[in-house]
Structure 1
Amino acid sequence: MPAPSVQPVLSGSEWAAVSVALKDAQRCGCATEAANTRPGALRRAVRFVFGSRRPTPLADPRLEAIRRFVCASSRRRGPVDGLAAPLAEHGFSAAQIDALHLLSR
């Protein structure tokens, strides 16, 4: 008897976090790795002139983990193993993490 297929399911708020992440990536505003670093003088000057700013992290840590993962996956188009661990810690299954990665491409 074949094993039942596992369907990765996301809640409405999780889908909203995916949407926010994809918009952040499109605007080149994802600041996942450098979120805690201070921008250099040139970057601050460009942001001052053009009004660019980093995206605001989501208040829910579970949704922020989704945003960071999807945004980084979208920008890199490659594996983001370091950001998959927080998703697993928040209770996401391997199928859900794989689905989020595929959505990001």
Structure 2
Amino acid sequence: MTSSATPDLSQNEWAAVAVALKDANDCGCATEPLPSEAGIVHRAFGALFGARGRTPLADPRLEAIRRFVCASYRKRQPANEFAKPLEEHGFNSAQIEAMGRLAR
């Protein structure tokens, strides 16, 4: 994925990248699934054992960054399966590529 667009990110977007890298470094990238993603077994284990992942970021745009960067960090290459939500939030290919490279 290569583009002539600029990979500029806002201060909040860079902060989300930093949070993701810290989470990834702490081995804590997993977030609590969205209610629509959580199955009965997951909810039961959570209720019984209090096991919780990281709380998602409040802004869905920033959470998409966090998930992409965390997954890319774990894989040591851009996690293209998490790129679609970034595109849907208006990120261009240069921005996505830059975030993927930072996570390696």
Query: Do they superpose with TM above 0.5?
Result: yes
Amino acid at match of 1:54: G
| Matched residue SS, 1:59 | coil
Structure 2's unaligned 5+ residue stretches are: none
Which residue is equivalent to 2:64?
65
3-state SS in 2 of match to 1:31: coil
Percentage of pairs with the same residue: 59
- TM normalised by structure 1 equals 0.76
Mark the structure with the bigger radius of gyration: 1
Task: State the Cα RMSD in Å.
Answer: 2.3
2:26 aligned residue? 27
User: Number of residues paired by the alignment?
Assistant: 93
Counterparts of residues 7-86 of structure 1 (less than 5 Å): 7-31=6-30, 35=33, 36-37=37-38, 38=42, 53-86=52-85
| Corresponding residue of 1:102 | 101
Any runs of at least 4 consecutive aligned residues in structure 1 with deviations exceeding 3 A, and if so which?
34-37
What CA distance in whole angstroms lies between the structure 2 residues aligned with 1:78 and 1:101?
7
Question: Bigger relative contact order, structure 1 or 2, given CA contacts below 8 A and separation 6+?
Answer: 2
TM-score (ref. length: structure 2): 0.76
